[in-house]
Structure 1
Amino acid sequence: MKVSYLFTGLIILIIVISILTNPTQKDYLLFNNELTRTQVPTNVDIERINFFLFSTYAPMSSMGDYGIVHLGFMGKFHQISEGQYDYPWWLEPFN
């Protein structure tokens, strides 16, 4: 019984920490500026899909083309697509 309570508590703790540290769009813009050393152009919108435990961020041009998609989780960003015009298939239902 102790092990199941400990495991349940650990899962709940991880969920709470990931919700509290879910990066915002401002965090993504700061990350992008550090990564590319340039500002995001004004004709590019940032599409954010929030899953509460993590978020995805994709720059989208005025023509509807997507750039590199990043996954924001626990305050960090991880690249999940290879580049231009490559929107992940698993995000399509949420778009």
Structure 2
Amino acid sequence: MGKIKVRLIILGLLVVLIISSLMTNPTTEEYLKFTEEESGIATPKNIEIERINFYIFSTYAPKRPLDNYGSVHLGFMGKFYQISEGQFDYPWWLEFFN
């Protein structure tokens, strides 16, 4: 197999990964359903969910009263992964995208 074929295969796989990530990027409603299933408790109406959409993945931070943030989750390909342990400030690395 030539170098060009290997590069084309890698490029094709990368394009498929990006397209599938774009199509399966979770919504805020899916995040709310996930948190309800995980905790067994519905999210109160006074809690705002801040979603930052990176198109191939998103981050979700429940904004608590008094401007504190709860645990942050990363949504990727229809799944959610916790990336913080409930800090009480905005994640520093998300400041770059605002």
Task: Name the TM-score, length of structure 1 as normaliser.
Answer: 0.94
For the pair 1:39 / 2:42, whether they are aligned, the reply is yes
Contact 1:44 1:61 (8 Å CA) reproduced: yes
Pick one of 65, 71, 76 that aligns with 2:74: 71
Q: Does 1:89 align with 2:92?
A: yes
Unaligned runs of 5+ in 2: none
The one of 8, 12, 15 equivalent to 2:15 is: 12
Matched, 1:24 2:40: no
d(CA) in 2 for partners of 1:26 and 1:88?
A: 22
Structure 1 or 2, whichever has the larger Rg, is 2
Over the residues paired in the alignment, what is the CA RMSD in angstroms?
A: 1.1
How much identity, in percent, do the aligned residues show?
A: 57
Q: Contact 1:81/1:87 (CA < 8 Å) preserved in 2?
A: no
After the TM superposition, which segments of 4 or more aligned residues of structure 1 sit over 2 Å from their partners?
Answer: none
Where 2:66 maps in the other structure, the secondary structure is: coil
